Amino acid sequence: MTAASHSTGTGLTAQIEGGILFGLSAALHGKIIFENGGIEQSNFHDFSAMRINETHRMDTFIINSSEEPGGIGEVGTTAASPSLGNALSHAARRRYRFYPFRPLQDMISAFS
């Protein structure tokens, strides 16, 4: 990641890594169910986020830059799902086109 100006590397790193986990959570667990003309989910208590035992260590590198300062936004969140989709498609030899991904079930059926 390149951040032109940042006050603390720790805060920036936490934002990037948190965004990645949020994006992976959406890709693996997020779904919206329509029932009786309405949406079944109402808020974050209906959203299954990744837990610490489902994650691995991340190495995030911040590169100093002379560019004008800008926001980091949701860089990690928006990159997580497509990155996971590409990795899964290479491993399972099939393209994932719908969220949430169901890699474990598909991997079991692909290799059995």
The structural domains of the chain, ordered by start, are 2-110 (3.30.365.10)
Whole-model pTM above 0.85?
A: no
Residues 43-62 have a mean pLDDT of 84
Whether the predicted pLDDT of 75 surpasses 60: yes
Q: Pick the closest to residue 25 from 50, 55, 58 (CA basis).
A: 50
The span from the CA of 87 to the CA of 56, in Å, is: 16
Whether the predicted pLDDT of 78 surpasses 50: yes
Residues 49-73 have a mean pLDDT of 82
Q: Higher-confidence residue: 27 or 2?
A: 27
Give me the half-sphere count of Cα atoms (radius 13 Å) on the Cβ side of residue 86: 4
Whether the predicted pLDDT of 16 surpasses 80: yes
